[in-house]
């Protein structure tokens, strides 16, 4: 089975999610799966685990941060949809023959809503099966509440995606 683990950043970037991703990827690779990590920051950590760098996935990407400043105010900037489309296009070859995609936190936090929207569209079309891995939920965490608003794309964080696990 080909599995793609996805997050804003990946090892060797130090962080809790990044550590968990590395452990998951190593365990799945040892179990005989073809595993790749896709992230906006990081690098290959193991010769048995592929790495795909897509800068627009990074929550600290300058373009993502500029859009987030507007989104946090409840405004959808003009550059939002073009970024969603670029992320979709960048992920297409990475996810093309994947059996499973495991996004970590990117579908439950507002740090890169263009990435969340792109993954929602990709998963909705019925490509590879998604397993959404949530470590944090923005809608239940008081520190994120000021960044969240009603409607698209914020509702993607709190709405069930019934076609995913």
| pLDDT value of position 107 | 94
| pLDDT value of position 117 | 98
pLDDT tens track for 80-90: 999 999 999 99
Q: What percent of the chain has a predicted confidence (pLDDT) above 90?
A: 86
Residue 165 confidence (pLDDT) above 80: no
| pLDDT value of position 56 | 98
Average of pLDDT values for 11-20? 92
Residues 77 and 38: their CA atoms lie apart, in Å, by 26
| pLDDT value of position 126 | 86
User: Which residues are paired to 133 by β-bridges?
Assistant: 104
Asked if 79 contacts 48 with a C-beta cutoff of 8 angstroms, the reply is no
Query: 87 is written with which tokens?
Result: 């992320």
Residues 53 and 85: their CA atoms lie apart, in Å, by 17
Average of pLDDT values for 161-165? 81
**Mean pLDDT, rounded, of the chain:** 95
Helix axes 80-95, 62-71, angle to 10 degrees: 130
| pLDDT value of position 163 | 84
| pLDDT value of position 127 | 80
Asked if 59 contacts 111 with a C-beta cutoff of 8 angstroms, the reply is yes
Locus of tokens 């509702």: 155
Helices (H), ranges, 31-163: 62-71, 80-95, 113-124
Residues 86 and 59: their CA atoms lie apart, in Å, by 15
| pLDDT value of position 164 | 83
Residues 161 and 94: their CA atoms lie apart, in Å, by 22
pLDDT tens track for 111-157: 999 999 999 999 999 889 999 988 788 888 899 999 999 999 999 99
CA dihedral 6, 9, 13, 16 (to 10 degrees): -70
115 burial (CB, 10 Å; 0-12 / 13-18 / 19+) is buried
Give the confidence band of 71 by pLDDT, cuts at 50, 70, 90. Answer: very high
Average of pLDDT values for 51-60? 98
Q: Is the pTM of this model over 0.85?
A: yes
CB atoms within 10 A of CB 51: 16
| pLDDT value of position 147 | 94
């Amino acid at each position: 089975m080909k599995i793609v683990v996805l997050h804003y950043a990946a090892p060797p970037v130090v962080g809790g999610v990044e550590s968990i991703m590395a452990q998951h990827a190593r365990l799945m690779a040892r179990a005989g799966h073809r595993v790749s990590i896709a992230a906006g920051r990081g690098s290959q950590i193991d010769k048995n685990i592929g790495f795909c760098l897509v800068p627009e996935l990074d929550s600290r990407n300058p373009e993502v941060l500029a859009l987030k400043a507007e989104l946090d105010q409840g405004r959808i900037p003009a550059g939002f949809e073009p970024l969603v489309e670029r992320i979709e296009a960048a992920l297409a070859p990475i996810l093309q023959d994947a059996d499973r995609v495991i996004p970590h936190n990117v579908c439950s936090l507002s740090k890169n809503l263009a990435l969340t929207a792109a993954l929602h569209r990709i998963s909705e079309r019925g490509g590879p099966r998604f397993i959404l891995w949530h470590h944090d939920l923005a809608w239940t965490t008081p520190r994120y509440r000021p960044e969240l608003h009603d409607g698209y794309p914020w509702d993607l964080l709190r709405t069930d995606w019934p076609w995913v696990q």
